[in-house]
Amino acid sequence: MINEYLSAGFADVDHVKNQDAYFDCLSLLDSLPYFFEYKLKSYELLQLKQGMKVLEAGCGIGDDAFRMAERIMPGGSVVALDSSNEMIEKARSREVSEHLSVRFQTGDVRALPFPDHSFARCRIDRVLQHIPQPERAICELVRVLEQGGLLLAYDNDWGTFSITARDYEITRCLENFWCDSFTNSWIGRNLCDLFISSGLSNIRVQPSTCIITDFEVADKVYNLRETVRRATAEGVISREQGDCWIEELINRARKGSFMAALTAYTVVGQKNVPK
């Protein structure tokens, strides 16, 4: 079976060879303290209140949709949308409290199937890095947001991705190989500009840095071995260089000096109320 490459595969999960790899990745990320903490902070920044109607765009397997639903009960509801039928089916199959109002459906965030001003809050998390024309997605999210409502986007800046290793040239080569495999590798740093261009106001930008010191966890999140395999297959580096690089990272992890770091941005903006 072809090894999945998470940077590219999330754009079209329904047509990959091994969909479980993407479900497992989302579950793993949700279990890591950094991801759990920024997600909780995002709910706070959205100022969720009882009775609100919320859109989670690019819901994956539903973790954030369920958590936000808890915060807007009683009376509130979450619509959780994803372009992948498989993601939606996986989310629907999960056991959750019956009192939560969460409706899952497929759809394209760049052409949302909702009327104008449908939601009090909209949230999009690590989706824009995977799709062409992210500006269309932001404009659509603003369209369906009610006047005075809040939009929150979280996404990575893969230009900041760094691995601790001795060989500068090989390391930068592999960091860039992984970075360039994303559709929008610099989307994190561009979120503020997209918000401004879409007419949002009261924009707040909060950077955060994810640091992983466990090589095996980093490999699952950042496809380190698979990146080396693909870079070798394309002749970017030699097999010997790739093997030595991975061996060094494993040895670093054993002695406690391995580190993979990435900066991401959380951006919140408000839809203007007409004067």
Report if residue 1 sits inside a domain: no
Position 275 scores a pLDDT of: 64
Residue 249, pLDDT above cutoff 50: yes
Q: Which two tokens stand for residue 259?
A: 């580190």
Return the pLDDT at 95.
Answer: 67
Q: Could you please report the per-residue DSSP string of 25-49?
A: HHHHHHHSHHHHHHHHHHHHHTT--
pLDDT at 1 over 70: no
Q: Is residue 70 part of a domain?
A: yes
pLDDT score of 187: 98
- Specify the pLDDT at position 94: 86
Q: Residue 185's closest CA among 206, 210, 157, 212? A: 157
Instruction: Let me know if residue 275 belongs to a domain.
Output: no
Q: What's the CA gap between 198 and 138, in Å, rounded?
A: 7
Chain length of the chain? 275
Q: What is the pTM of this model?
A: 0.95
> What total of structural domains would you count in the chain?
1
Q: Which helix (H) or strand (E) holds 71?
A: helix 63-71
Q: What is the mean pLDDT of the chain?
A: 96
Q: Is residue 27 part of a domain?
A: yes
Res. 99 pLDDT band, cuts 50 70 90:
confident
Kindly state whether residue 136 falls inside one of the protein's structural domains.
Answer: yes
DSSP conformation class of 16 = S
Position 87 pLDDT exceeds 80:
yes
Two structure tokens written together for 133: 């024309």
Percentage of residues of the chain with pLDDT beyond 70:
97
Q: Are 191 and 265 in contact (CB under 8 A)?
A: yes
Residue 254 lies in a domain: yes
Per-residue pLDDT reduced to its tens digit, 165-224: 999 999 999 999 999 999 999 999 999 999 999 999 999 999 999 999 999 999 999 999
In a domain, 186, yes or no: yes
Q: What pLDDT, on a 0 to 100 scale, did the predictor assign at position 97?
A: 60
Checking if the pLDDT of 80 tops 50, the result is yes
Is the predicted pLDDT of residue 236 greater than 90, yes or no? yes
Cα 13-227-64 angle, rounded to 5 deg: 40
- 33-69 pLDDT, tens digit per residue, is 999 999 999 999 999 999 999 999 999 999 999 999 9
Domain that holds residue 187: 6-270
**Residue 19 vs residues 15, 70, 79, 178: alpha-carbon distances, Å:** 8, 28, 23, 20
What's the CATH code of the domain at 205? 3.40.50.150
pLDDT of 20 higher than 60:
yes
Q: Is the pLDDT of residue 231 over 70?
A: yes
Average pLDDT over residues 251-268: 98
Q: Could you give the percent of the chain with pLDDT greater than 90? A: 95
Determine the pLDDT at residue 3. 76
